[in-house]
Structure 1
């Protein structure tokens, strides 16, 4: 997955909002005010930081060299995925969707987006 595809994938999720709280060089996607994806734009090495269940995060870090504990985030709950490395087809998109789902699961039912 490349950076543009990652941005499109995040932006096409229900109620996803693109913000730039750290400046325009970083895209931060939120749903109902909660972060689910962070992408440094035009970085030398494109990556995306995503929320992950702790057990899944540990397994992913062990299994894939392209996935490391979340950069500048809680290492148990966030992972950083290198977008320029080989990953199984669809894995990056699945991880984006999982991050989104983990975040909306923490919202009160009345605030959850309707797909």
Structure 2
């Protein structure tokens, strides 16, 4: 996935997630996406390319960084819990959707139950 397509795909997925919102607490160069007042995704081009930063389970993040050249530790974030998605040829739309959704659910599951917009165990699962 190249250039702005990566950020647009991530943005499109966020629009489908209940309770997710966009803020600019770090200025206009950073899009910060939150659920329940907690950050689950950031987007910027301050690195010279459009990147997307999402939360990931530490073991999943390690595996993803090993498997995909376009995934690196989280830019300006905790390197154990965040990953950065870079434009390039290795990321698919489906993978971007899954990583954005997983980041969202990692944050939702740590919100007080009264503030959860969805049940993180059942959201997006059928049957």
* Runs of 4+ more than 4 Å apart: none
1:54 paired with 2:65, answer no
Change (3 A) 1:6 1:32: same
Structure 2 unpaired stretches of 5+ = none
Query: Matches of residues 75-86 of structure 1 in structure 2 within 5 Å?
Result: 75-86=79-90
1:113 paired with 2:111, answer no
Q: TM-score, length-normalised on structure 1?
A: 0.90
Change (3 A) 1:89 1:10: closer
Q: Deviations over 1:29-88 (max 9, x none)?
A: 000100000000586411100000000011011110000010111111000011343324
- Give the RMSD, CA atoms, in angstroms: 1.8
- CA distance in structure 1 between the partners assigned to 2:116 and 2:54 by the alignment: 19
Query: Matches of residues 97-108 of structure 1 in structure 2 within 5 Å?
Result: 97-108=101-112
**Count, aligned residues:** 115
With 55-64 and 37-46 compared, the bigger mean Cα shift is at: 37-46
Structure 1 unpaired stretches of 5+ = none
